[in-house]
Structure 1
Amino acid sequence: MLAGWVEIAADGVERARAACAELRWHEAYRRRWREVRAEAGVRAAQASAGLEGARLPLELARGYATGTAAAPGPAAPTSAEPPAGPEAVLAGAVRGAAFAERLMPDLGGREGAALPPLPQLLARAHTLVGAGWLAPDALGRLRTTEPARDVTGLGPAPLGREVAARVDLLARTVATSGAPALVVAALVHAEILAVRPFVAGNGLVARLAFRVMVTAGGLDPTGSVLPEVAWAAAPQQYVAAAAGYATGRPEGVARWLTACSDAVVAGAAEARRVADGVLTATLPT
């Protein structure tokens, strides 16, 4: 499945690799990479939540991450449809970013990332990002007869056994693929958006998985590249590229791969701004 993708994405893979390689040697990553990575995670969460309509200040996301702001509590067990307030969505995105960071290998460490099987990773991520604004019995559980309530504009999402079958095929493809990290991450991202395996929160999970894959796969060893910021700056183009993938046509797949590589290149530039800010104690707004 991915053989054709690798050929289509060759130029984008090289551009993304060069941008991430240049970023790696920024002075901030010598001793302060943990600070850069943590700040990048906060910014990734804020941008990802914004794509879900939860457009809230960066300072609030940082407050949720550091514990200086009280995050919304979990939904009541009896609530079938807890309100999806923007603060709860942002808090979920921040929890997801912290989870992603825990899965990333240390910069310069001898041990690589040992990721859980993809279905387990997705279920855990969804449980974290959806807590507080999705019904408890929907957290981490694949849809069966329920329609997806998010990521509109991509055509109908599958139902029933097809949902689990698509996730299983994706997991087997990822587990056996030797394709570049960008290609694998782009596939995972696009499939989650197209299949929408959960009732809601699929976009948050898709972007979290992309973030984990590009770091664990070695493309971005710093764990601080911010493609989410690029996507949040142009949400209509982001959705259009995902819709192109969902058609299954080669030109749609090519457009999606270009969108992912462009976002990584732009995200590396954004990470450089964060790294500069960490060194000078003047983080960009």
Structure 2
Amino acid sequence: MTDPLSRLLTLPGVEDAVRAARDAVDTVHRHPANRRGWPATAAEASVRAARASAALDGGSAEIPAAGEVSDPVLAGSLRVAEAIGPVLPTWQRAPLQALARLHMLAARDLTDDEALGRPRADRGVSGRLTLLASLVTGGTSVPGPVLTAVVHGELLTLAPFDSANGVVARAVTRLTMISTGLDPKALTVPEVFCLRRAENYASAAAAFGTGDPDAVASWLVFCCESVVAGAKEATSIADAALG
């Protein structure tokens, strides 16, 4: 059976970008602070990722000193970040259930209870989600950076829910980075790169949705670049942990 994503590896610049992403993550995993102290650095990465993801969806990126978050987008993003570990096994065996759970957490304060965890009824949404789920559960053998970028781009452009699609898409991206072995300890913070280049991020994702090969290649390379930058962010976290 032909791998439905294998042709993506032949697109211009993709193989080199994939290699760079893998090398960057491998390097930060070898950082002295991450050999035994990775739970602490991963926790900091998770918070930074949640803040950046919320900002990309128009929410606040600032956690009040008192610790009580009132911004609904940021609150949802933080709830989703806390759920990444518990949701991971579900993502690996039943991705659509994991998506529903993440949306319930992300959009709790943004939509009616009836809409929580329920994809839009628009024609084609269900079929595309089912196809995406099949890729995640073994329907492709492409490298982690490629599958991660495809999942990320597909969820952004499909926007399967009535709210919080960006936060959910980026959380699922983290899950895919973990499950594919690209970043098994979730140390990197590619979301910061996406926030710093928010306009490019939005336009690249929109172009990916057209299916044009050049646009798809550009999106894959952009996502790999975000992983490289996210590894640099992880290095700064690890350096700080060493004091």
Determine if the alignment matches structure 1 residue 166 to structure 2 residue 128. Answer: yes
RMSD of aligned Cα (Å): 1.7
Equivalent position of 1:100 in the other structure = 84
Equivalent position of 1:249 in the other structure = 212
Distance 2:97 2:24 in 1: 31
Q: Deviations over 1:197-241 (max 9, x none)?
A: 100111111111111111221111231111100000110000011
Percent identity over the alignment is 38
Match for 2:5: what amino acid? L
Q: Deviations over 1:136-167 (max 9, x none)?
A: 111110111xxxxxxxxxxxxxx23x110110
Question: Partner of 2:209: helix, strand, or coil?
Answer: helix
Question: Partner of 1:134: helix, strand, or coil?
Answer: coil
Equivalent position of 1:152 in the other structure = none
Distance 2:192 2:215 in 1: 22
Report the alpha carbon displacement of residue 7 of structure 1 after superposing the two structures with TM.
2.7
**Structure 1 pair 25–262 and aligned structure 2 pair: CA distance change class (3 A):** same
The correspondence for 1:227, drawn from 174, 187, 190, is 190
Aligned residues: 237
Determine if the alignment matches structure 1 residue 6 to structure 2 residue 4. Answer: no
8 Å CA contact retained: 2:79, 2:105: yes
- Point out the structure with the larger helix share: 2
Equivalent position of 2:108 in the other structure = 131
8 Å CA contact retained: 1:28, 1:275: yes
Equivalent position of 1:259 in the other structure = 222
Match for 1:237: what amino acid? N
Determine if the alignment matches structure 1 residue 117 to structure 2 residue 94. Answer: yes
8 Å CA contact retained: 1:24, 1:221: no
Match for 1:133: what amino acid? L
TM-score normalized by the length of structure 2? 0.92
Match for 1:4: what amino acid? R
In structure 2, the gaps of 5 or more residues are none
User: For 1:208-223, what aligned pairs fall within 5 Å after superposition?
Assistant: 208-223=171-186
Equivalent position of 1:50 in the other structure = 55
Distance 2:145 2:61 in 1: 29
**Structure 1 pair 54–114 and aligned structure 2 pair: CA distance change class (3 A):** closer
Moved more, 216-225 or 120-129: 216-225
Report the alpha carbon displacement of residue 103 of structure 1 after superposing the two structures with TM.
4.5
The correspondence for 1:204, drawn from 163, 167, 175, is 167
Distance 2:221 2:112 in 1: 36
Determine if the alignment matches structure 1 residue 279 to structure 2 residue 225. Answer: no
**Structure 1 pair 130–114 and aligned structure 2 pair: CA distance change class (3 A):** closer
Q: Deviations over 1:102-140 (max 9, x none)?
A: 3569xxxxxxx9724111111111111111222111111
In structure 1, the gaps of 5 or more residues are 73-86, 106-112, 145-158, 281-285
Bigger radius of gyration:
1
Q: Deviations over 1:74-116 (max 9, x none)?
A: xxxxxxxxxxxxx1110100011111133569xxxxxxx9724
8 Å CA contact retained: 2:92, 2:136: no
Tell which has more relative contact order, 1 or 2 (C-alpha 8 A, sep 6+): 2
